[in-house]
Amino acid sequence: MVGDAARVAGEGGRAMQEVQTTMASIDEAAGRIAEIIGLIDGIAFQTNILALNASVEAARAGEHGRGFAVVAQEVRNLAGRSGEAAAEIRGLIDTSVTRTRQGSELVRRAGATMKEIVDSVTPVSELIADISTGAREQSRGIGQVNTAVAEMDSMTQQNAAMVQQTSAAAVTMRGHAERLDTLIKSFVL
């Protein structure tokens, strides 16, 4: 059971490491996206300046530049919307990067905690193995004690039987001795 806990904790640590690697990749991709957004923002700014210059030229052209002025205004509007969209995307990317970094930190801390768990489960596992070995040795010792007690019981029973036999033999010998004594007394010298 403890071995399973150590294995699961180790797998959890590896999963945390994979999540950290993935989050680092997301952070890197977000950085590249931010660079592209900067490029789009620059293009929108330059397009806005170009549209402004086109409006000035359309105004100089007078009546002939009127259609061109409408196109220049639409281009300026489009450049403005592109700049706003780029700024909004930049804000979203910045928020995502911040959250990704926070998530990476949380995962890093969780990984460190998981490592501590693995490091603490390993000695417990070894201790339980030692306790199990000790319990087996104690069980063997108790078995030997039980065997010795059974042998002592058998010897005690044998000794009791011998005492009974000896007692019976003593009673018989006393009877014989009394008869001998009686027989000897019957001979008078």
* Confidence (pLDDT) at 188: 67
Whole-model pTM: value is 0.53
DSSP string for the chain:
-HHHHHHHHHHHHHHHHHHHHHHHHHHHHHHHHHHHHHHHHHHHHHHHHHHHHHHHHHHHHGGGGHHHHHHHHHHHHHHHHHHHHHHHHHHHHHHHHHHHHHHHHHHHHHHHHHHHHHHHHHHHHHHHHHHHHHHHHHHHHHHHHHHHHHHHHHHHHHHHHHHHHHHHHHHHHHHHHHHHHHHHHHS--
* Confidence (pLDDT) at 127: 84
- Domains, in order of start, for the chain: 2-145 (1.10.287.950)
pLDDT per residue rounded down to tens, the chain (189 residues): 656 766 777 777 788 788 878 888 888 888 888 888 888 888 888 988 888 888 888 888 888 888 888 888 888 898 888 889 888 988 988 888 888 888 888 888 887 887 787 788 778 778 888 898 999 999 999 999 999 999 999 999 999 999 999 999 999 999 999 898 888 888 766
* Confidence (pLDDT) at 1: 60
